[in-house]
Amino acid sequence: MMKLTILGCHSATPKENKHTTSQLLEVKGKFFLIDCGEGTQIQLRKLKIKFSLIQHIFISHLHGDHFYGLIGLISTFRLLGRTTQLNIYGPKGIKEIITLQLKMSNSWTDYSLHFHELSSPNSEKIFEDDTICVSTLPLDHRIYTNGFLFTTKTVKRKINSKATESLNLEPFHYSQLQNGLDIELANGIFKENKELTLNPEPSKKYAYCSDTAYNKKLISLIKGVDLLYHEATFLEKHADLAKKTKHSTALQAAKIANSANVKKLLLGHYSNRYSDKKDFIKEASTVFESILLSEDLKTYSI
Amino acid sequence: MMKLTILGCHSATPKENKHTTSQLLEVKGKFFLIDCGEGTQIQLRKLKIKFSLIQHIFISHLHGDHFYGLIGLISTFRLLGRTTQLNIYGPKGIKEIITLQLKMSNSWTDYSLHFHELSSPNSEKIFEDDTICVSTLPLDHRIYTNGFLFTTKTVKRKINSKATESLNLEPFHYSQLQNGLDIELANGIFKENKELTLNPEPSKKYAYCSDTAYNKKLISLIKGVDLLYHEATFLEKHADLAKKTKHSTALQAAKIANSANVKKLLLGHYSNRYSDKKDFIKEASTVFESILLSEDLKTYSI
């Protein structure tokens, strides 16, 4: 299971109680930060998580509402005495911006800071460990922009302790069972794997797509994901503005969700011009059913 | 008269309700922003002032808690359709940091943005108009840092309307009176200036000094100012830390205020390690009487 907390879901300029884009994804006790608008570190403090558990930050593009909080977060990590490595994934140029500011302030980090600069126009795997795989989702925006697809790995089969408790199994038996193998007991009796194990939690997929014009190329990359976050900066009545600024309307986001047959759609990146967010649901639900609205500091289970 | 509003008075890392350094100085309807920590634009929104009235921003040094909010503010000004010029005064390097970020995001400002980069180790006049003069106060910190001295200009003498109402004065008479001259009435009678005018508001001085080690060289530059903001990051029990990081204690700030014979001392830039700010007053008042404590969003008259 993944847990997604929205730190900010508003576009363009931050205001009191309206934070620009940032999200925190939790996967088995590991935290992945996605985008980092100004003030993200203050939002993060409210969650009271241990900052050192954030070891990977993914930046979609170099518009300010998606990364102006990054330099402050990097500095705060240093001031708090961080020692664990930090990895930043983002467009080419991000390293220059951050290191220039560290250089000018003579404030190099004491922890190791790794930049993984992206420039490919195609989807590529950019991170993988034993629990998750992250790949890019090329988006269609005014500057080079990627969304990110987070896919949890199918974990080992679960031991059915009720079924195994009377069998006096050795440690290697458990390992065999977790790996899906049948086992031979000490007395020579064979046991089928399915008798002694339960199905593992299925792999989960979260697709993050902000910012982007309506982009059909996305559909094949996000087929059937459990949750799609898709920007909906505008409503259809401002479709001309959406086209001009290479953003999407709520309807367009829903069309992508529908075509990709995703399980749930989460809308966000609202323009400040709309006061009633229910209009986004109303518009999107004409073509897709299962819709959620992002709210700052709200958590969504995936 | 000047009005100083503290937008943030905390050091190092911003937290909820604890903003890093930024101040807004109002002089006759003009607004001067001094330093610009992360989230300053959100603090500014709370004051509900017209952003276009801020035409001059003074940055003391390139540590993050004093300028990480600048790029966001510059971007927001653009997004709000600003047309009036903006002047940034700050250490050499500030232009490169800001323009690199504008370049990478392909978001050049539509208004004219002027950088006035500072590198002199001596006090110098950096801005002057018909109401105010601003000069630098070289500080002793870990990187190149300036405080700023704001001096309002002595305005013209005030017409004493009670004394003039029966005299049937011509417009040129008023102008002569405001400039301190005696006048000759239409009937040939002479009137002394002092009979018909009141003293103008005296020139006011505000000295902003953050961040700095205890620095006696400051004293001659800030003699007799109406208000001295002096950083007090630490209390004397952490004097070793103050020395190491080139900051001041509350006692040191008070000693500077006392030696410079200033009218009032405003303390700020508190380290996050102290919960009770009254200890700053207690310590400083052993050598100086008239002490104020900075509070976020509080306004002080000068």
pLDDT in tens, A223-244: 999 999 999 999 999 999 999 9
Q: So which residues of B are the catalytic ones?
A: 65
Which residues on chain B are in Cβ contact (under 8 Å) with A96?
Answer: 100, 104
| Number of DSSP helices (H) and strands (E) in chain A, helices first | 11, 18
**CATH topology assigned to domain B2-155+201-301:** Metallo-beta-lactamase; Chain A (3.60.15)
* Shortest alpha-carbon distance between residue A292 and chain B (Å): 27
Chain A residues at the B interface, defined by Cβ less than 8 Å, are: 12-16, 38-39, 41-42, 45-46, 62-64, 68-69, 71-72, 75-76, 79-80, 91, 93-94, 96-97, 100-101, 104-107, 142-143
Which residues, in sequence order, are bridge partners of residue A101? none
Q: What is the pLDDT of residue B70?
A: 98
**Residue pointed to by tokens 């909010």:** B69
Q: Two tokens at A83? A: 């020692």
pLDDT for residue B155: 77
Distance of alpha carbon B65 from alpha carbon B36, whole angstroms: 8
Interface test with B, best of A7, A97, A105, A109 (most B CBs within 10 A): A105
Segments of chain B scoring below 50 in pLDDT: none
Q: Which residues contact B291 (CB under 8 A, 6 or more apart)?
A: B254, B257, B264, B265, B266, B267, B281, B284, B285
Give the global pTM: 0.91
Neighbours of B153 (CB within 10 A): 15
Residue with token string 């005299």: B167
Q: How far apart are CA A70 and CA B211, in angstroms?
A: 23
Which residues are CB-neighbours of B186 under 8 A, at least 6 positions away? B168, B170
DSSP one-letter string for A255-273: HHHHHTT-SEEEEE-B-TT
Q: What phi, psi does B90 have (nearest 5°)? A: -170, 175
Element housing B229 (H / E): strand B227-231
Number of H helices and number of E strands within chain B?
11, 18
Map residue B167 onto helix, strand or coil: coil
pLDDT in tens, B122-159: 999 999 999 999 999 999 999 999 999 999 998 789 99
Per-residue model confidence (pLDDT) at position B283 = 98
CB contact under 8 A, B107 and A45: no
Per-residue DSSP letter, B291? E
Which of B12, B45, B100 faces A97 most closely, judged by CB atoms?
B100
Nearest to B211 by CA among B144, B273, B272, B154: B144
What's the confidence (pLDDT) of residue A26? Answer: 98
Residue of B nearest to A18 (CA): B42
Which of chain B's residues have a Cβ under 8 Å away from the Cβ of A82?
none
Residue A189: exposure state from Cβ atoms within 10 A (0-12, 13-18, ≥19):
exposed
CB contact under 8 A, A105 and B63: yes
pLDDT given for residue A1 in this prediction:
87
Q: Do A15 and B63 touch (CB under 8 A)?
A: no
Residue B61: closest C-alpha in chain A: A105
* SS3 at position A8: strand
Residues in A touching B75 (Cβ below 8 Å):
13, 64, 68
* Burial B76-111, CB ≥16 within 10 A → b, else e: bbbeeebeeebbbbbbebbbebbebbbebbebeeee
DSSP strand E in chain A: where? 2-8, 22-27, 30-34, 54-58, 86-91, 113-118, 125-128, 132-138, 146-152, 158-159, 183-184, 190-191, 197-198, 205-209, 227-231, 264-268, 291-293, 299-301
Question: A140-167 as b/e, with b when 16 or more CB fall inside 10 Å?
Answer: ebbebbbbbbbbbeeeebebeeeebeee
A236/chain B closest Cα distance in angstroms: 21
ipTM score:
0.90
Chain B residues with a Cβ under 8 Å from any Cβ in chain A:
12-16, 38-39, 41-42, 45-46, 62-64, 68-69, 71-72, 75-76, 79-80, 91, 93-94, 96-97, 100-101, 104-107, 142-143
Find out whether B77 and B111 touch, Cβ atoms under 8 Å: yes
Cis upstream peptide for B211 (omega within 30°): yes
Low-confidence ranges of chain A (pLDDT < 50): none
Judge whether A80 and A49 are in contact, CB under 8 Å.
Answer: no
Q: Which residues lie across from B57 on neighbouring strands?
A: B33, B88
* CA B260 to chain CA mean position, Å: 18
Q: Which 8-state DSSP code applies to residue B236?
A: G
> What residue spans define the domains of chain B?
2-155+201-301, 158-198
Separation of alpha carbons B9 and A197, rounded Å: 59
Nearest by CB: A101 against B42, B45, B97: B97
Coil, helix or strand at residue A59? coil
Portion of chain A with pLDDT greater than 90, in percent: 91
Judging contacts by C-beta atoms under 8 Å, the chain B residues touching residue A71 are: 64, 68
One-letter-per-residue 3-state SS of A160-196: CHHHHCCCCCCHHHHHHHHCCCCEECCCCCEECHHHH
Q: Whole-angstrom Cα distance, residue B233 to residue B68?
A: 19
- For residue B279, how far is the Cα from the chain centroid? 25
Q: How far is residue A70's CA from residue A62's CA, in Å, rounded to a whole number? A: 11
- Between the two ends of chain B, the Cα-to-Cα distance in Å is 6
- What number of C-beta contacts closer than 8 Å exist between A and B? 100
State whether A75 and B69 contact (CB < 8 Å). no
- Shortest distance between the Cα of B157 and any Cα of chain A, in A, equals 43
Q: What is the pLDDT of residues B214-235, one digit of tens each?
A: 999 999 999 999 999 999 999 9
| A295 contacts A9 by C-beta, under 8 angstroms | yes
Question: What is the per-residue pLDDT for A109?
Answer: 87
**Residue B107 confidence (pLDDT):** 85
